[in-house]
Structure 1
Amino acid sequence: METDFSNEKYYNKLKEVVYIPPSEEDNKPQLLQLENNNKYKDSYFLYLSAFTADLVAFATGCHMAWCSPALAKLQETDPNVNPLGEAVSSIQESWIASLVSLGAAVGPLFIGKLADNLGRKKTLILLSLPMLVAFITLAFSNNITLFYVARFVGGLGVGSSFAILPMYLGEITENHNRGKFGCIMAVFITLGILYPFVVGPLVSLRLFSFSCAIPLMLFLIFFSLFIPESPIFLISNNCSEEAKEALMKLRSKSSSQVENELSAIAKEIEKDKDKKGGIGDLLIVPNLRRGFTVSVGLVALQQFAGINAVQSFMGQIFDASGSEMSTYMSTNLVGVIQVVATFLTSVTVEKLGRKFLLLVSSIGSCAAILILGLYFYLKKSEIYNVDSLFWLPVVSLMIYIVCFNVGLGPLPWAIMGEIFPPNVKSVASALTAFFCFFTSFGVTLGFPILANHLGMAECFWMFGVCCILGSFFVYFVVPETKGKTLSEIQQLLSKN
């Protein structure tokens, strides 16, 4: 049975970008730490700093999933429920859902250079402002044009956060824990996605939108007052004393105990201090070109793995199973599974490695989505009675969600944060984020058209083929970066 994409109910199920996730991580030059990893113990202040910064990631997730409960309310005609006073059309819903992705594609193009000029901390504060303004506008708006503007402006901050937040987290962490803290960022994103699923349907649109702004308010207060700038940025700008103080806080160590790490950072930065770095270097210098290929290839795989399509059809998948579970409960169940799977990645990534988890993720996602496509093909063609397979779509969906979130969701951003030296990190991160969200915008708008012409099953199979190709890409092109220094990673990237 073909999906009617002119039906407004379809757009109610549309949830724009859910990942970008993920997923992201640490943009830190893996310059640090010279001792045995088993002796490391992360300081409480490092966790506090990362968690405070990750409030931006939580807000990013809220922006991504805001449409899920909001569009249902905007379809009502009761002015007490819908501030517009009349139900939105399918076209209006489509623009409200997708404009955040368009803004997210544009934002990184302008924010990347600011991270080098203003610093990671000030840039994070700056990019949180459009997200905050967007939520407040959505809370008090009664005009469709303001909804459009708010979604686009919020998207500017969303895309920028994927370029800058992994950079900051990477630069305050160390070789032995950068993967973990990068994946914790993805945990906050999935928590931010879950929040609208749980709270949005239970309260008014105004209260829901305003509540999404509260984490950003807390971020602006506590991050501004208590959390230090990246030590790597400070050393790059000849602020050695400030860098030492920041490192002492982050490691909870004395001045003499951070000397070795400071020296290691300074030594790595010294190598590239005369290299300005730009787009040309990413395309010409062999190790940078391969690193850029890895970074862009992974976010492309993330988008073409089909996460947006699966979540758009989540209601239909549950309906096909004959389950009596409500849409509210089923959506929340998937949201919880995303959080748990991403959390498991954060606690295993430093043991199992990035490459292994990416391979498990892409192969598992491939198998699950191919089976999901097979079910809908058999159901449409009626060549086999699928009544006895009522459980198959839900099981396939759950396996897909778990597999996607143990690798493809969080790890592309984590690896992006590891493979670029400081002189090209900002431009590489910005271009990767731009490519990711631009691709997401295209997939979100293009998928309904393809599904209408080819069929839902065939589109799921296309996503499965992309996962297969992605597995080969991960195996042959993506290096294992677990526990390696920046120099070691650059050596790996320089090999043919």
Structure 2
Amino acid sequence: MVFINVGLSKCYWNQYFAAISVNLLSLSYGGVILWTSASYIYLKKDSNRFETGVLTKEQLGLITAALSPGTLVGALFFGWLADKIGRKRCLLLAALPMLAHWIIIPFARNPLQLAVARFLGGTAGGSCFTVIPIYITELAQDNLRSTLGMLLSLALSTGVLLINTLGYFLHYITVAWIMTIIPLAFLVLFAFNPESPQYLAQRNREKAERSLRYYRGISSSGDANEEFQQELSRLCKSEDEKPEKLQLCWHDFTNRKARKAYFIGLGLVLTNQFNGCLTLQNYMTFIFEEAGSNLPPMISAIIVSVIVLVGTFLSTHFAGFAGRRTLLLGSISGIFIGESVMALYYYLTSKGYETSMFNWLPIGTFSLVQFSSTFGILSVTTPLIAELTPPKIRSIVVRVQIVTMFLLSSVITKIFPQLSESLGMSSMLFIFAGLSFIFTVFIAIFVPETKGKSIQAIQDSL
């Protein structure tokens, strides 16, 4: 196990503690994402709870939809704030709307109040995708950066499984009170971590050195080895370098390395959104029913959540060994195979061929697609974009890429029902499979391997 082998070294403990404690915020956001789905049964029948009576489909739609604009606002705001006040203080502030989300839910008496709670939870979630990858990239050693960067996706997957499991056994109000524990634990534990050394490096060399010593497990300057001194020197090129020298110019965004990093990042964003795995999650119940499954929808959701969690855990485990490019290629190839077989099954079924002996295929291929997506493309995209982007423009570029990702997600979610109704499920699956094949070629040609490389080495390879 990567966690055991690497974790035994004392110099890694503080990095693991920082990565795990910061991702308690991601764990909570994973619960926010599927809270509406996990609470659907109680929200539909709890007529005495709300002033408006039983919630309608339109009201439930409003509550569900409030998350996306909140996430967009949070990505923009907290991404900007991280450069102004630092990554640590920014993330501590982000925990407040997350905590407010869970506290408002038990007291909500109308759909608008629930929508406000969802919006606030979304803003905190925006910080998870923009600030946490930057924070991890800036504090982690080269041989740990891949593994620690994947903890974001692992925490999100764990949060999804947690909310589905709690929602199956408990009333949504009880679930909300239980979930308040997570952001509170984040506030307590994450407060012990110093600011990232890279953020401090151009502002205060002494503080940057203390931060770097903390994350490298070095108790005093006298214990610092040559490797540490070289890393500190790279971070702090000159003691006289002032924050005003950090002012951005147009060339910072248009030089060859920046253009290539943005091109690869945009390709990864498109791969993340147009491979079809996230869209197919909306058809999970349909796929299970078509296969003859009598499992309740919530049990189906829990099963899929377990599959997603296992895939994410394995990707975290193998990231330090196989490398991110390898994970991406394996992930998108698995999606391509799963969607191709699923598309062929639905096509033959629609044409009247006897396919009853293969009615296990929809569940099997759907599980393969979801497992493959979490094994690589969903877990690797954000940390890899942060690694490839030049440090000076990293915060802005990551912010733009994440906002682009959520905008695409909103558009796809909106138009997919109409497209699938007019073209048919098999046609949509063939389209997704074709796009996945194109993305496989893109990754093979353009995406570099970052395993074990320093940020400077990655930049030099662009």
TM-score (norm: length of structure 2) = 0.91
Residue by residue over 1:8-61, the C-alpha shift from the partner in whole angstroms, topping out at 9 and shown as x without a partner, is xxxxxxxxxxxxxxxxxxxxxxxxxxxxx9997653232222111110110121
Deviation of 1:457 after TM superposition, in Å, equals 2.2
Deviates more, 1:439-448 or 1:158-167: 439-448
**Aligned match for 1:396, one of 365, 369, 380:** 365
Q: Equivalent residue of 1:313, what SS?
A: helix
Write the letter of the residue equivalent to 1:232: Q
Matched, 1:247 2:215: no
Residue by residue over 1:407-465, the C-alpha shift from the partner in whole angstroms, topping out at 9 and shown as x without a partner, is 11110012022112321111111111111111112122222222222222222222222
What is the CA–CA distance in structure 2 between the aligned matches of 1:96 and 1:460, rounded to whole Å? 29
> What is the correspondence of 1:10-49 to structure 2 with a 5 Å cutoff?
42-49=11-18
Distance 1:86 1:378, change over 3 A: farther
Deviation of 1:220 after TM superposition, in Å, equals 1.0
> What is the correspondence of 1:1-150 to structure 2 with a 5 Å cutoff?
42-79=11-48, 83=50, 86-150=53-117
What is the CA–CA distance in structure 2 between the aligned matches of 1:61 and 1:350, rounded to whole Å? 24
Distance 1:84 1:74, change over 3 A: farther
Deviation of 1:305 after TM superposition, in Å, equals 1.5
> What is the correspondence of 1:194-343 to structure 2 with a 5 Å cutoff?
194-224=161-191, 226-238=192-204, 240-255=205-220, 256-258=222-224, 260-268=227-235, 270=237, 274-277=245-248, 280-281=250-251, 283-343=253-313
Deviation of 1:263 after TM superposition, in Å, equals 4.1
Q: Equivalent residue of 2:387, what SS?
A: coil
Match of 1:451?
A: 420
Matched, 1:352 2:322: yes
In the alignment, is the contact (CA less than 8 A) between 2:63 and 2:112 conserved in 1? no
In the alignment, is the contact (CA less than 8 A) between 1:74 and 1:84 conserved in 2? no
Matched, 1:167 2:134: yes
Task: Count residues with an aligned counterpart.
Answer: 451
In the alignment, is the contact (CA less than 8 A) between 2:86 and 2:195 conserved in 1? yes
Deviates more, 1:103-112 or 1:284-293: 103-112
Match of 1:12?
A: none
Deviation of 1:300 after TM superposition, in Å, equals 2.1
Distance 1:489 1:43, change over 3 A: closer
What is the CA–CA distance in structure 2 between the aligned matches of 1:209 and 1:305, rounded to whole Å? 33
Question: What is the CA RMSD across the aligned residues, in angstroms?
Answer: 2.3
What is the CA–CA distance in structure 1 between the aligned matches of 2:306 and 2:118, rounded to whole Å? 25
Deviation of 1:145 after TM superposition, in Å, equals 1.2
Match of 2:148?
A: 181
Distance 1:249 1:275, change over 3 A: closer
Deviation of 1:383 after TM superposition, in Å, equals 2.2
TM-score (norm: length of structure 1) = 0.85
Deviation of 1:116 after TM superposition, in Å, equals 1.7
What is the CA–CA distance in structure 2 between the aligned matches of 1:41 and 1:353, rounded to whole Å? 24
Distance 1:249 1:149, change over 3 A: same
In the alignment, is the contact (CA less than 8 A) between 1:111 and 1:430 conserved in 2? no
Where structure 2 has 5 or more consecutive residues not aligned to the other structure, the ranges are: 1-5
What is the CA–CA distance in structure 1 between the aligned matches of 2:273 and 2:51, rounded to whole Å? 33
More helix by share: 2
In the alignment, is the contact (CA less than 8 A) between 1:135 and 1:209 conserved in 2? yes
In the alignment, is the contact (CA less than 8 A) between 2:212 and 2:232 conserved in 1? no
Distance 1:295 1:308, change over 3 A: same
Deviation of 1:110 after TM superposition, in Å, equals 1.9
Distance 1:90 1:282, change over 3 A: farther
In the alignment, is the contact (CA less than 8 A) between 2:11 and 2:218 conserved in 1? no
Matched, 1:365 2:335: yes
**Aligned match for 2:400, one of 414, 419, 431:** 431
Deviation of 1:403 after TM superposition, in Å, equals 0.9
What is the CA–CA distance in structure 1 between the aligned matches of 2:98 and 2:46, rounded to whole Å? 28
Write the letter of the residue equivalent to 1:339: L
Distance 1:374 1:94, change over 3 A: farther
What is the CA–CA distance in structure 2 between the aligned matches of 1:38 and 1:213, rounded to whole Å? 29
Write the letter of the residue equivalent to 2:289: D
What is the CA–CA distance in structure 2 between the aligned matches of 1:479 and 1:269, rounded to whole Å? 27
Distance 1:445 1:213, change over 3 A: farther
In the alignment, is the contact (CA less than 8 A) between 1:281 and 1:289 conserved in 2? no
Match of 1:377?
A: 347
In the alignment, is the contact (CA less than 8 A) between 2:91 and 2:131 conserved in 1? yes
**Aligned match for 1:192, one of 159, 168, 179:** 159
Distance 1:189 1:281, change over 3 A: farther
Deviates more, 1:241-250 or 1:190-199: 241-250
What is the CA–CA distance in structure 1 between the aligned matches of 2:31 and 2:237, rounded to whole Å? 40
Deviates more, 1:126-135 or 1:38-47: 38-47
What is the CA–CA distance in structure 2 between the aligned matches of 1:445 and 1:72, rounded to whole Å? 24
Residue by residue over 1:230-251, the C-alpha shift from the partner in whole angstroms, topping out at 9 and shown as x without a partner, is 111122211x332333233322
Match of 2:3?
A: none
Deviates more, 1:181-190 or 1:321-330: 321-330
Percentage of identical aligned residues: 29
Residue by residue over 1:329-387, the C-alpha shift from the partner in whole angstroms, topping out at 9 and shown as x without a partner, is 222121111111111111211211111110111111011012222222333x2421221
In the alignment, is the contact (CA less than 8 A) between 2:101 and 2:121 conserved in 1? yes
What is the CA–CA distance in structure 1 between the aligned matches of 2:267 and 2:236, rounded to whole Å? 27
What is the CA–CA distance in structure 1 between the aligned matches of 2:296 and 2:164, rounded to whole Å? 13
**Aligned match for 1:468, one of 437, 442, 449:** 437
